A and B are shown apart, each in its own frame.
Chain A
């Protein structure tokens, strides 16, 4: 069989990989009707539980299910250890980078990153300059997007250091699999992920110098696309889920309005972008934030997780330098590689990109969620020409990467079981130490041939197993 892509379950000769054998056996002996029936059951349960997200730009505020695929993505424990070490190394370097650029800016002085690329970046927040954070941690929660190329190597596609989402699906997908197919878990050693909320709470508590700080989750509200996740995490941690209007600032201290009067707040796990946090300091139109929050933050009376101004480090124009950061700050060789990236701000890179547009993926440096990108091989001539004009007009706003042949995983689709492209987002927590639970969110592009896995673009999710081999 001719295989162009790395398949997670079968090797190039169509032989099942060792860590998938238990599952493959089970799959062979399970009638398709039963699988179809279990999948309908999963849909029903997800729907009933309201495990949904809200689509942006949909006037009805329609709540959609993120399609859940019952065929798991499995990673052998030996391979996971490399991913884990690589993610930890990367996030440590990124936190050191953030502390550096808001203080001494050694990396800029050393000429490793051109200063204007950091200092004039819209993600760089001047208000953070010179501010000391407890443990020097900026990105308490990070999501690292990984893909596997045709030869089986993992690459980091991007780092998400602002308000990465999806961890609730990692946990709900696992719960669903255990409910639908308990026999699979009885037969194999699949590392548990359910303690994530516990680790998250520990991380948040350790981000404050106080002994027993009061922690809240700040949500933009129930119409936000990730509201389910905000509520889920608050409930699992047993902390208040607050909206901006529930908080107020008095004497540079943050309080929440409760039925028993005002109560102090010490740590805010905010799921709200920088621009909306404080109408006095940032966007004055915003009604989502808390007037005066920034002054309380700068006085050190409240911790924000993640810190303000982390966006500069997950900007796609900074991404090419992360491997250099690892060498600069940690004196180590990067464990995980970047995808080769052309920076369109460089004239040489730009001319290469313009000459090869039909083969490349072009992304906005500020873009996320799969919006504002060009997938060359899948685009029409007209789309490519339109993008060419945008690139010429604002080259600094774009980067380009080769079209990766993302790995595939067998997936239950209309026509039966067929390979579909996937990626992986583990969640890295930085507190007293940097750590992650063994697993992550596997996203799957459900359309045949599609490489776009974002839920806002119709992608689905899979349970992710780390299996002892």
Chain B
């Protein structure tokens, strides 16, 4: 496959995954901000979370001066001038898909093109009549549909592989950042991995819901979400599809199956990272300190992304 085609496929799926993650994040922050607060920030600290996680706090403050619920949501949803907005993620995904429309199935292309056309309509109407939760639901639903079309219609070959690589690099990074941010927000409370306060309960269950892992948590642990268990689930459990471990297993397998010798550096790094996770227990993570451990893994996932770029997307 052409390197450029692979790059377009990879970035198409990264942007789509990013849009879905952002929608999940926005929805949760918005719901939490509507709950009775402890007086520390009137829900604004919740609303600021997506800004912190995506590294756009500065830019937002420069443009809007202060945290403001509606402006913040719009900044993330439909603001065409915010490079990290859902609007721009979907624009990027559609543009990449357009470039490779000859390589993906008609079902996939029509799906993403229809999403884009509907988004343009929405952007014209504005969100006020539509509602942020409904909008986030819609983005998730479109993402599900696209994944379904991909899974159900695309030949299992290189095209499929590069789409998977983009998805799981983005998802691994996202899960790490979400967990890190929740952990930070809890501040002093998070020092105690067995904190049982109501605040901790809502924080952790919100995170689980954002990752659609609440039911999985309930089934596996049969108890209230607490920092240590949530971290174990989201970092180390292979059976949760958005966990770091699940993402790395997919990345490692996908890379191992790609033909050619030029991918060895990426394949080796993925195998190393996957093996390390496989034989890590949560106590070791907590001993290192959750933030320090996650920071290192964010860097490692970044390295893996760079290696994929060097090995496949920029070769010859």
| Bound Cα distance A47, B116 (Å) | 11
- Interchain residue pairs with CB less than 8 A apart (28): A47-B117, A48-B110, A49-B109, A49-B110, A49-B113, A50-B98, A50-B113, A222-B98, A231-B101, A231-B102, A232-B102, A234-B102, A235-B103, A240-B2, A243-B4, A245-B4, A246-B2, A257-B316, A258-B3, A259-B3, A259-B162, A259-B258, A259-B260, A259-B313, A259-B315, A260-B260, A261-B315, A262-B316
Q: 10 nearest interchain CB pairs?
A: A260-B260, A235-B102, A257-B316, A231-B102, A259-B312, A262-B316, A257-B3, A234-B102, A259-B6, A50-B113
Contact mask for chain A residues 204-246; partner B; CB cutoff 8 A; 1 contact, 0 none: 0000000000000000001000000001101100001111011
| Bound Cα distance A240, B5 (Å) | 9
- Among residues of B, the one whose C-beta sits closest to the C-beta of A49 is B110
Residue pair A260, B113 in contact (C-beta under 8 Å)? no
- Residues on B with C-beta less than 8 A from A234 are 102
Contact mask for chain B residues 101-130; partner A; CB cutoff 8 A; 1 contact, 0 none: 111001001100110010000000000000
Contact mask for chain A residues 273-290; partner B; CB cutoff 8 A; 1 contact, 0 none: 000000000000000000
| B259 at interface, CB cutoff 8 A | yes
Instruction: Scan residues 36-73 of chain B and give those whose CB is less than 8 A from a CB of chain A.
Output: none
Residue pair B2, A257 in contact (C-beta under 8 Å)? yes
Contact mask for chain B residues 219-262; partner A; CB cutoff 8 A; 1 contact, 0 none: 00000000000000000000000000000000000000011101
| Bound Cα distance A262, B2 (Å) | 9
Residue pair A248, B316 in contact (C-beta under 8 Å)? yes
Chain B interfacial residues counted at CB < 8 A: 29
A48 is contacted by which of B113, B158, B260 (Cβ under 8 Å)?
B113
A260 is contacted by which of B102, B106, B110, B262 (Cβ under 8 Å)?
B262
- Among residues of B, the one whose C-beta sits closest to the C-beta of A228 is B101
| Distance (whole angstroms) from the CB of A301 to the closest CB of chain B | 18
| Distance (whole angstroms) from the CB of A328 to the closest CB of chain B | 42
| Bound Cα distance A256, B315 (Å) | 10
- Residues on A with C-beta less than 8 A from B102 are 231-232, 234-235, 241
| B35 at interface, CB cutoff 8 A | no
- Residues on A with C-beta less than 8 A from B4 are 243, 245-246, 257
- Residues on B with C-beta less than 8 A from A258 are 1-3, 315-316
Interface residues of B (CB under 8 A from A): 1-6, 95, 98-99, 101-103, 106, 109-110, 113-114, 117, 158, 162, 258-260, 262-263, 312-313, 315-316
| Bound Cα distance A257, B1 (Å) | 8
| A102 at interface, CB cutoff 8 A | no
| Bound Cα distance A262, B262 (Å) | 11
Residue pair A255, B114 in contact (C-beta under 8 Å)? no
Q: A222-B98, A242-B2 are in contact. Are A261 and B316 (CB under 8 A)?
A: yes
- Residues on A with C-beta less than 8 A from B114 are 48
- Residues on B with C-beta less than 8 A from A222 are 95, 98-99
Residue pair B117, A246 in contact (C-beta under 8 Å)? no
- Residues on A with C-beta less than 8 A from B109 are 49-50
| Bound Cα distance A232, B312 (Å) | 25
- Among residues of B, the one whose C-beta sits closest to the C-beta of A227 is B98
- Among residues of A, the one whose C-beta sits closest to the C-beta of B259 is A260
- Among residues of B, the one whose C-beta sits closest to the C-beta of A233 is B102
- Among residues of B, the one whose C-beta sits closest to the C-beta of A231 is B102
| Distance (whole angstroms) from the CB of A150 to the closest CB of chain B | 43
| Distance (whole angstroms) from the CB of B8 to the closest CB of chain A | 10
Contact mask for chain A residues 402-438; partner B; CB cutoff 8 A; 1 contact, 0 none: 0000000000000000000000000000000000000
Residue pair A261, B98 in contact (C-beta under 8 Å)? no
| Bound Cα distance A235, B101 (Å) | 8
Residue pair A50, B262 in contact (C-beta under 8 Å)? no
